[in-house]
Each structure stands twice: as C-alpha cells, then as structure tokens.
Amino acid sequence: MTKSVIHDPMFKFLAVLSIASAVGLQTWRTLFNNFAVEVVHLGGNHVGIIQSIREIPGFLALLAIFIIIFIKEHRLSALSIVTLGIGVGITGLLPSYQGLILTTLIMSFGFHYYETTNNSLTLQYFDQNTSPWVIGKLRSFGAATNIAVGLFIFVVTAFLDYRMIYGLVGVVIVVAGLWGLSRNPTRVDIVPQHKKMIFRRKYWLYYFLTFMAGARRQIFVAFAVFLLVLRFEFSVREITILFIINNVINYFLSPLIGKAIIRFGERKVLSLEYLSLIFIFIAYATTDSRIVVMVLYVLDHIFFNFSMGIRTFFQKIGDPRDIAPSMAVGFTINHIAAVIIPALGGLLWIIDYRIVFLAGAAMSAISLLAVQWISHNIRSHNLD
C-alpha cells in the first residue's frame, strides 16, 4: 500500500503543497510577535485584534464550495499556496498596523483555503484503508518542516532583517504554488462533488465532534502555553525546546496514528484521545510541578493528532459527492470555537485559571460519550 500511495500523483501534489503551507504558517508564527513589537511597535490590544482577524478566513471557508464551481479543486489548492506565499512575502514591506492586518488576511486566506481543499482531496483520492495513513504522513511532513523552519530562522536572523526573511520565504512558497498550478494530479474515476452548501442531519455527529475538537484545540493554543509562561515561568528557550520535542515526536508518530485508525477504527482511537484528555486537563488544573506540566504539554500536542479520525469517520458515513462541501462546512464549524473559547476562557481565567482546564476536561468527557455513537452511525450508513 505504502509504495503505491507514495507514487500517486495526488500524494506527491499534496505533499509538496503541505510542506509549503507549513513553511508559510510556521514562518509567520515564529516572526509575528517580534516583528509586531520591534518593527511595527504594536501593543497587546493591536496584536489581539490581528490574531482575531487571522481567524476570519476560517469562518469563510464555506466560500470554497462556490469557488470550485469556477476553478477545479486542485487548482484552488495551488492558488491558495500562491496566496499564502504572497501574504508572507509582502509582510516585511508593509510595516504598519494596517499593513499587518492586510498581509495577515492574505496569508490566512491562503492557509485556510489550502487546508480545506487538502482535507477534501485526501478523502476523495484515497480510500478508507489508505486516507488515515496519508493524513498522518502529511502531518509528519509538517512536523519536520516546522523544525527546519525554526532552525532556518534561528540561523538567518543573525544576518538578514525581517523584510529579507519574509521575502525569501514568500518567494519559495509562491514557487511551490506555481509548481502545483503546472500539475494535474487528478483522475477521471473520482466522484464529482456537489458545488453547493451541504448540511445533512445524518452528519450531526461529524459536525458535533468537529466543533468540540476546535474548542479543545483553542484551550491548548490559547491557555496551555500561557499557563507555562505565567504560572511556571518558562523561558522562550524552554518553550522552544518543548516545541522541537513535540515536532520530533509527531514526525514519527503521526503515520502510526493513521495506521492505528486503519487497524482499530475511529471509535477506539478517538475514545483513547478523549479519555486521556480528561486526565490531562485535570492535571493542568491541579499540578504544581514543572516536570509534570512539560509532560502534559507534549502529551496534549500528541493527542491533537488523533483528531484526524473525525475526518476519516466522515469518509465512512458521507456521500462521496458531499466530501468537498462538508470539509468546508466542517472547517467553518471548527473555527467557531476560535472566537468563542478564547474570549470565554479569558473571563473564566480572571476568576480562577483552573476553571478553564476543568471545562476542557468536561468537554473531553462529553466528546468521549459522543464518539461511542460512531459505530452506530457507520452501521446505519451501511444499511442505507
């Protein structure tokens, strides 16, 4: 299976563009705060607004459904990478608050639309016994890319300014996107996709699990690192080391998670994720140990990769014609949490930081109960 998949034109296409996407996002994340403070001279309120604006394209992922009426989906993927590269590349040329808002939006539209089409194309072109491995392999490429980008920036910041780094990385990404535009990895045997918005009652569990996964991810992104820095006084160097450890582990582990989904099924793998998260979030709320919280941070990051099972679950219950519109709808649902959770969690943090993580444990328990319906949903689909 592995050899045939690796030589599949669509796998090569998605691998190159996924690496380019990871390069763009990781460069933006790594440089953003320093660039915003040192060059643009922004305050926390401005940075917060920009971070919120960055999530807008995630809400607008639904528009991809209508764009593919006019543009083939694989071309939209490549154009999204070109857009991402342009957004990153011109960031250093517009060192102002308004300029950073504009370049962030351009970058974010490229990233989010690529992720939407990437999910869709993976489920369309690889069957139920292959897609989990493909998703895991693409994630491992992303982890390796993140490490490489970190090392690259660490080296080049000694002799290149922000404008040069952004520009150089942007050019590389645009070249990758243009390469994608020159490829045609499609096959004629693929089921044509609906080019309209799709909401179906039978997909309720997919929608619910997607929203809960987004909520759980936001607690990790918005508050786990904040806890490490504020309460346990982790330095930038210590956070960086943890980041490298996470990516090294996930480079090797992500394909194995995909294989586990193929062997044991989505219900068992997702049950392990949510059961583990209950204890992880409770431990976040109760531990006073720096060592323990470091382990929690790494485990938290590992279990996030288990969420690929939500997409492969949809592949088993969804109409093949619904994949593209449903991935766009799912991406929008996932991003609802990006607005709700940080704002609500910030208010709860003021009362007691423990409440945020105990809420995460409660959400994980609800998700654990919900995933037990997966087998029933799959059986019902097979009977239809």
Q: What is the pLDDT of residue 215?
A: 85
In whole angstroms, how far apart are CA 258 and each of 127, 253, 269, 327, 362? 13, 9, 10, 19, 26
* Domains of the chain, each with CATH number or no CATH: 1-182 (1.20.1250.20), 196-384 (1.20.1250.20)
Q: What is the pLDDT of residue 284?
A: 94
Nearest to 194 by CA among 185, 184, 183, 203: 203
140 within 8 A of 251, measured Cβ to Cβ:
yes
pLDDT averages per 10-residue partition of the chain, 384 residues: 77 96 92 84 75 81 85 95 97 94 95 93 90 92 91 86 94 98 89 79 91 86 79 77 87 91 93 95 94 92 89 89 87 79 80 91 95 82 62
Phi, then psi, of 54 in degrees rounded to 5: -60, -25
Q: What is the pLDDT of residue 236?
A: 58
Residue type, 193: Q
Both tokens of residue 44? 């926390």
Q: How far apart are the first and last CA of the chain?
A: 29
Global pTM reads 0.85
Q: What is the pLDDT of residue 110?
A: 96
Nearest to 226 by CA among 302, 293, 305: 293
Q: Give the Cα-Cα-Cα angle 269, 273, 277 (nearest 5 degrees).
A: 170
Q: What is the pLDDT of residue 59?
A: 80
Helical residues (DSSP H) of 232-373, grouped into ranges: 236-264, 266-286, 290-304, 308-317, 323-351, 353-371
In whole angstroms, how far apart are CA 115 and each of 112, 303, 316, 361, 380? 5, 20, 20, 28, 29
In whole angstroms, how far apart are CA 147 and each of 63, 141, 153? 32, 10, 10
Both tokens of residue 250? 């996930």
